[in-house]
Structure 1
């Protein structure tokens, strides 16, 4: 379909995917399921899953009838190729909507006002800013849009055989849903429609449709799937959600006090936060509605400089070997004798920095950086590991994550015990890993959420606690003395980070 790795890149920073790609992928997955597990399909009692967050889909005027009347003898891809008013929808990689992000923040009173209302400041990849761009740049095509979906609700819609709304959790990754009321913000929709859309509050609200409750089934599965693939006609469809909230569900992060940390190319943190404690930031991070607990939020942070930054220091000072790296790390004490470092091979996003290839190290007696060359290799090694743990604690606290009870780790660096020891000591809580790994956590989250929705339906549609049976293994417990050292270091770390951002 003219894509490279599923994406079409434009010269203005745009990144789109043909909406038919997702339909074709579903065709292929279901064909494999039928061929490899023919006897299991009819025993499936509920389906759910996830789609890449922020991707949006624009259905045409004939889409509803095409979806409802699909012929089970024909693949969906063939039947739905004319179902889209705008064939290629923007995805999470798109960075072309800066102008419309600025307009939204101006209209609503600034980035903090947008974050307070929707959970995040205006981001280019967030779907409502892409909608605003399409209204202005593709007005003729947009006039033919009958419904707007995200990738997640596209899948829910296909399985149900009718339009189904975006689930509450994925909707909070759009800059459009009011976190408190769980309805589309009239102020946001008015800004997005501008002068180009008559009555934008009602018009855009109708195009988006009402949001779906994430923990309840929406319908029985469409007859198309019963007749073509052998699903039971009693099989329930549960709203699909975004890949990030689904990952949280798949890891079993279900209650306030849980923190999931992925130590990969970038370091990402997910936490469940009580609504009363949550603090959306107009500078960094995101707050999402929790798809498995209506009484809590998800706080999410991403740090661009993760494993690649750690590996750069390993390669420079430890012969490219983690064993040597860990040996040198163990030669220094928690707190690093007052040395604090900030390692940014790439411009950082949390907090935002503008310059690449930056290393700044401070000794115990100065608030100005010292010469990096004058700092011993083992000091630099501890400095980067402590920086990465301290920043996680500082910035999760900014979003309201103040009472962490346990950390669940994933990602490549989670195999390094010495790194996890520092993480445990900084937070003062035990660190766990899932038994058997978590490489398919997003998909597994769909399974657990479908199971959870059936439990809620069995209680007459009342919410029941999400308590998945996920086995975890204790990796390391904190040392109280080391935790005290890091507690005392937090204030200075925050101060020096502000110095680095200003450089």
Structure 2
């Protein structure tokens, strides 16, 4: 058997991808939207409505129900699940699930009629805070203070105390509901919770997702005693073990035989969506950066050594292929591109071709800081773009110059704020809607002095999970998996142009100075 299943429990949906390692192709892919498929949970966009806009929680029973539903859907679609030789998964990072001591019993899933029904009496907290939650500012500051400042938290855990991370979320829960926290025996991440459902036992947390909690010490790959103490009482007793991402956490539970899975299918540790996406686009090896041009733009890359961002914007997670990875998020991604396109009444074709044909690299010295919404990298709380250049450009009457300024700014800010990794980017793999633009890709190639490769991977998290199942089960190594399932279209690769590289090496200094004048 050579088929491997990857599951992705994201914010808004659950996705299944099946790879056939013998045929070297994806043989099945299906996604179910939570709002449409499971409307009874009142999470139309994957989270519960709340009067406080800073609070973003979801219902963990919905995730359990979704696992049942995707398995039933695969069965109904005629997938022979008895052929599955390994399973792994991807979960939205930072979300937490709180469970009582009965979750540690061996029989909680034995006679269950449904996963949601089995899990409901085990929850000590009815809802799960997710990555969109921003309600833990005070807890972040307490953790920083207890460790002697944000730099100490960053050096230990790879990130400053961050509002959406599991540690600060646990801290707030322990403060506000001490009784429920005391009744909690196990705190799982979304990824390890879903793995637990598959094996019918409390699954360990992998290094990849565990590093996104502000609790794991990067140098020891163990829970950090000082961070635990600063976060909540007896927290170390409530956290699962930590394991490498390739670790087999158990075999599939007999509950899942109803869907056609055979006995003994190995379950490889689940990880977070970002570590899985790194694998899913073939970025497992240092030297290849991955840029996702989505609603927010995201830069992530495998790292050949541990480094942390002294400015606190970047994060360090575990790389499922071994070692570590960086992640840096920029809020002004597609939203900013859309804003400029609408402001100048441009079609996407005009945005791409006309603007880049009418302007030259360097944009005649016209620079924009593209803060159309408040930015997190760098931190800019007051929205509004900043213009430096000629009068027509500053008056926002030159559409072509505005487009090029935006795209150049987005590329330069990624280069500036990824420099802390201190490693050369040899090639860049791009995904997302804007990756279709030749102009955008050429600017990225010139700014990074690296070839830009374009991929068409519909769900990198689920594909990365399926690849991890294959690797964890010993079917293929990372190099072979990436070559087969993450191939790029060579005809669409953009190479850096030497003359343009020199222009951007000079322009980026002016851009950095302008950014510093705004952010300090």
Match of 2:317 among 269, 288, 292: 288
Is the contact made by 2:297 and 2:333 (CA closer than 8 Å) also made in structure 1? yes
Residue 18 of structure 2 is matched in structure 1 by: none
Match of 1:387 among 399, 409, 412: 409
Bigger strand share: 2
Looking at structure 2, the residues matched to 75 and 374 of structure 1 have their Cα atoms a distance apart, in angstroms, of: 58
Looking at structure 1, the residues matched to 264 and 48 of structure 2 have their Cα atoms a distance apart, in angstroms, of: 39
The structural deviation recorded for 1:34 is 2.0
> What SS does the aligned partner of 2:395 have?
helix
In the alignment, is residue 499 of structure 1 matched against residue 520 of structure 2? no
Residue 350 of structure 2 is matched in structure 1 by: 323
CA distance 1:495–1:108, change in 2 (3 Å): same
CA distance 1:379–1:225, change in 2 (3 Å): same
Looking at structure 2, the residues matched to 282 and 345 of structure 1 have their Cα atoms a distance apart, in angstroms, of: 22
Is the contact made by 2:425 and 2:448 (CA closer than 8 Å) also made in structure 1? yes
Is the contact made by 1:305 and 1:344 (CA closer than 8 Å) also made in structure 2? yes
The structural deviation recorded for 1:282 is 4.4
Q: Output aligned runs, 1:133-172, within 5 Å.
A: 133-172=172-211
The structural deviation recorded for 1:257 is 0.6
Q: What are the ranges of 5 or more consecutive residues in structure 2 without an aligned counterpart?
A: 1-40
Q: Output aligned runs, 1:181-200, within 5 Å.
A: 181-193=220-232, 197=233
In the alignment, is residue 376 of structure 1 matched against residue 415 of structure 2? no
Match of 1:332 among 339, 345, 359: 359
Looking at structure 2, the residues matched to 230 and 3 of structure 1 have their Cα atoms a distance apart, in angstroms, of: 30
CA distance 1:27–1:401, change in 2 (3 Å): farther
Match of 1:55 among 95, 99, 106: 95
Is the contact made by 2:109 and 2:118 (CA closer than 8 Å) also made in structure 1? no
In the alignment, is residue 31 of structure 1 matched against residue 52 of structure 2? no
Looking at structure 2, the residues matched to 473 and 152 of structure 1 have their Cα atoms a distance apart, in angstroms, of: 32
> What SS does the aligned partner of 1:330 have?
helix
Looking at structure 1, the residues matched to 296 and 207 of structure 2 have their Cα atoms a distance apart, in angstroms, of: 26
The structural deviation recorded for 1:211 is 0.8
In the alignment, is residue 266 of structure 1 matched against residue 292 of structure 2? no
| 4+ long deviations beyond 6 Å | 463-466
The structural deviation recorded for 1:447 is 0.2
In the alignment, is residue 20 of structure 1 matched against residue 61 of structure 2? yes
Looking at structure 1, the residues matched to 106 and 114 of structure 2 have their Cα atoms a distance apart, in angstroms, of: 13
> What SS does the aligned partner of 1:378 have?
helix
Is the contact made by 2:308 and 2:315 (CA closer than 8 Å) also made in structure 1? no
The structural deviation recorded for 1:497 is 0.9
Is the contact made by 1:299 and 1:401 (CA closer than 8 Å) also made in structure 2? no
Residue 415 of structure 1 is matched in structure 2 by: 436
RMSD: 2.1
The structural deviation recorded for 1:259 is 0.8
Match of 1:256 among 272, 286, 298: 286
CA distance 1:14–1:42, change in 2 (3 Å): same
The structural deviation recorded for 1:47 is 0.7
Is the contact made by 2:366 and 2:388 (CA closer than 8 Å) also made in structure 1? yes
CA distance 1:67–1:493, change in 2 (3 Å): farther
Looking at structure 2, the residues matched to 345 and 66 of structure 1 have their Cα atoms a distance apart, in angstroms, of: 52
Residue 507 of structure 2 is matched in structure 1 by: 489
TM-score using structure 2 length:
0.87
Q: What are the ranges of 5 or more consecutive residues in structure 1 without an aligned counterpart?
A: 198-202
Looking at structure 1, the residues matched to 185 and 178 of structure 2 have their Cα atoms a distance apart, in angstroms, of: 14
Looking at structure 2, the residues matched to 206 and 86 of structure 1 have their Cα atoms a distance apart, in angstroms, of: 17
The structural deviation recorded for 1:99 is 0.8
The structural deviation recorded for 1:66 is 6.8
TM-score using structure 1 length:
0.90
Residue 487 of structure 2 is matched in structure 1 by: 471
Is the contact made by 1:221 and 1:235 (CA closer than 8 Å) also made in structure 2? yes
Looking at structure 2, the residues matched to 142 and 291 of structure 1 have their Cα atoms a distance apart, in angstroms, of: 31
The structural deviation recorded for 1:343 is 1.9
Is the contact made by 1:116 and 1:281 (CA closer than 8 Å) also made in structure 2? no
Residue 279 of structure 1 is matched in structure 2 by: 308
> What SS does the aligned partner of 1:81 have?
helix
The structural deviation recorded for 1:375 is 6.3
Is the contact made by 1:167 and 1:212 (CA closer than 8 Å) also made in structure 2? yes
The structural deviation recorded for 1:321 is 4.5
Is the contact made by 1:176 and 1:184 (CA closer than 8 Å) also made in structure 2? yes
Return 483-492 or 387-396, whichever deviates more.
Answer: 483-492
Is the contact made by 1:70 and 1:76 (CA closer than 8 Å) also made in structure 2? no
Q: Output aligned runs, 1:65-464, within 5 Å.
A: 65=105, 68-71=108-111, 74-193=113-232, 197=233, 203-226=234-257, 228-275=258-305, 278-293=307-322, 296-317=323-344, 319-323=346-350, 326-356=353-383, 358-363=384-389, 372-373=394-395, 376-398=398-420, 400-434=421-455, 437-455=456-474
Is the contact made by 2:393 and 2:402 (CA closer than 8 Å) also made in structure 1? no
Is the contact made by 1:273 and 1:298 (CA closer than 8 Å) also made in structure 2? yes
Looking at structure 1, the residues matched to 276 and 426 of structure 2 have their Cα atoms a distance apart, in angstroms, of: 21
CA distance 1:160–1:413, change in 2 (3 Å): same
Return 214-223 or 140-149, whichever deviates more.
Answer: 214-223
The structural deviation recorded for 1:230 is 2.4
